[in-house]
Chains A and B, each alone.
Chain A
Amino acid sequence: MNFTPKKLVPFPALTVPTAVWARLAVKIPLVGQSVHAGFPSPADDFIEEMIDLNQVLVANPTATFLWRVVGDCMVDVKIFSGDVVVVDRSMSPKHRSIVLAIIDAEPTLKRLNRRGGVMVLHNENAKLPTFTIAEGTDVSIWGVVTATIRQLAK
């Protein structure tokens, strides 16, 4: 069977589109020898790529989704209404994970605790009554919360 592996497709993978050329110029720090500069910059050898927040906040982009928080059940762990949470679906929930749980079809943030072999969900808000789940309620874990993003000024 005539078959070429994906990575070896010479076209268009190796073509740098003009739009990208122009865009790269905006994103990469512009230090270096230009025609009119007499001396090379002493910093040239130390140029690195810019810090990318995705590298820190998103371990697995394919399985990561962002959700907006509109409740106060996690305020004791500093997750407030209006925050954005980073949710990774590929991570296995563990004891003490903060998870996005689907409880009776409603998406909600909860702390996951293991109590004697049983997984228990609860709120992180001392002002709320203890969270309990009625028997027969549908519960599933949508993903594990790995970070919160809160913008303080724009």
Chain B
Amino acid sequence: MSDLPPALALIDGNSFYCSCERVFDAKLERRPVIVLSNNDGCAVARTAEAKALGIKMGQPMFQIRDLCRDNNVAVFSSNYALYGDMSRRMNAVYDRFSPYVEIYSIDESFIDVSRLPVKDRTAWASDLRSTTRQWTGIPTCVGIGPTKTLAKLANKAAKKLSSGVLDLSDESMRAEVMATFPIADVWGIGPASQAKLAHLGIEYAGQLAATDPKLARQLMTVVGERIIHELNGRPSIALETVAPQRKGCAVTRSFGERITSKGEMEQAVAGYATRLGEKLRRHGLATDHVTVFMHTSQFNRDDPQRSVSMTVDIPEATNDSLQLIKAAKRGVDTLWKSGFRYSKAGIITQDLVPPPIPQRALFDNLDHERAAKVMAAMDEANRRWGRATVVPAATMGGPAKAQTFSTKFDMRSPRFTTRWDELPECR
């Protein structure tokens, strides 16, 4: 497609969730900050100060409670409304710098730099970084390389530089950095692969790049082979400009309390179907199936264990919450078995499609249009007055129970950028 040598930039937010919190509270600049996963289970974001205290990624909260208290660590529940909005703003900044942006995750985006009329990529990246910082308040790092894996590697190495930018387009410079870059930090190398490679004496990215791709394939399947090619500057993972999460969509939660009755399970899953419908409508997509799953907690080893899932087909692609609920309930009906204490359930869809085009002719399919209107009104009400203002009746239990199913937000900061009544305050 292009004769230019490939060059990709990976830009990501430093301790992204924590940085979002710091934008609106300068006092946090002086404190270690961590953000917890859904249900406040474990640390999913840590500032450098928190990492220095020895708090690990994914470490359960109960293990670090005392440490946090003794070191004045600011602990937050996840505030996805805020993080999502800040992520959107960051990508809006990137869009001004390049039309070739692939949103990879909430805080990471790949940008194809090879086709930009840019002479000095490091200067370009510094400008991107400082504009993002100025406009959104979020600090970032940028790594540049000929493949995604190398861009990611450069980004990781850039975290240690005060400039926050590292361009590894140059081969000799790449070799130098990779010689001391641990394989554990290479994209796609998990603990299992790491152990296998360590057995062969391969500890650094440089050694891994020099490994025979066929051997890598034997050890780590085709993924391992691709990693070797990527590390040698041969692109093996394509840049996708459609956000990956739109290919599939999932709504899932751990329950605050274990679920033991079918009614409660139906109600929970109906709630997820409602959220799924909302998500699909927001992106203008639909689905013709839902996969329902539920399982018990693997931490309660003494309890009887069960983990099941099934896919329910829907005759025509839809994003109507009521139809999705119907399908999801059919799933629960088939899967449900009493005598287990379920800890988690959810629904997933893959292969999202555009919704059937509404027939706006004289002889209309009234059902389609009416359902769309009901859903639009429901979305509007929920957008204006807060999530779950208007919900399908199927998701309603007793008022006291309803709360059990949603994520716990004990220590969540205000939704500073999406709610009139939660705006940040100044004197």
Contact = CB atoms under 8 A, between A and B. Distances in A.
A75 to B, nearest CB: 12
Contact of B426 (A3, A17, A105, A109): A109
A99 B10 CA distance: 33
A127 interface: no
Contact of A105 (B26, B92, B369): B26
B100 interface: yes
Interface in A8-64: 9, 11-12, 15-23, 26, 60-63
A115 interface: no
B135 A63 contact: yes
A1 B239 contact: yes
B242 A18 contact: no
Interface majority SS on A: helix, strand, loop or mixed? Answer: mixed
Residue from A21, A60, A106, A108 with most neighbouring chain B CB atoms (10 Å)? A21
Interface string B369-382: 10011011101100
A23 B380 contact: yes
Contacts of B102: 6
A15 B354 contact: yes
Given A1-B1, A68-B423, A89-B137, A19 B376 contact: yes
A106 B135 CA distance: 20
B188 interface: no
B358 A21 contact: yes
A106 B427 contact: yes
Given A1-B6, A1-B239, A23-B380, A17 B1 contact: no
A18 B372 contact: yes
Nearest to A140: B26
Given A1-B239, A62-B93, A89-B135, A18 B26 contact: no
Interface of A: 1-7, 9, 11-12, 15-23, 26, 60-63, 65-71, 73, 84-85, 89-90, 100, 102, 105-109, 140, 142
Interface of B: 1-2, 6, 25-27, 29-30, 89, 92-93, 95, 99-102, 112, 114-115, 134-137, 235, 238-239, 241-242, 246, 281-285, 319, 352, 354-355, 358, 368-369, 372-373, 375-377, 379-380, 416-417, 423-427
